[in-house]
Amino acid sequence: MLKSLTKNEYIALLLIEAAEIDFDFAPEEKDIILEYVSEAQFLRLLWIYNANRLLCHKVLKERITDFFPSLSEQKDLKSTLLQLFLADNSYNQFERTFMEMFREEFMKGKEISPSN
């Protein structure tokens, strides 16, 4: 399933990982995720994430350029993450750390050059 993710499923899975980071999955965060996938897809992705968080993180990290090949697209995705974190009117240290990790691990050197 993780190898055949659509772009919206990728976004939803990343948002699920982000929403889980502070151990408080807020209803407002779920509402944002449901902008990308159906309730059934959300529940399936949540189950997959909870069954194997490390594999999901690895796949998310490895596949970012499949769906977001340019740094500007990756920055837009980062803005979506920030929107998720602010949805519950709280931006805590767990979420700040996740944003830093996303910038350093997901975005660093991951842009596909125009010649590719």
In this structure, are residues 81 and 102 in contact, taking their beta carbons and an 8 Å threshold? yes
pLDDT of residue 23: 84
**What's the pLDDT tens digit per position in 36-85?**
999 999 999 999 999 999 999 999 999 999 999 998 999 999 999 999 99
**What's the pLDDT tens digit per position in 71-111?**
899 999 999 999 999 998 889 899 999 999 998 888 865 55
**pTM exceeds 0.85 for this model:** yes
Residue ranges of domains in the chain: 7-107
Query: Which 3 state secondary structure label does DSSP give 23?
Result: coil
């709280």: which residue's tokens? 90
**Distance in angstroms (rounded) separating the CA atoms of residues 49 and 13:** 7
* Averaged pLDDT for residues 17-24: 89
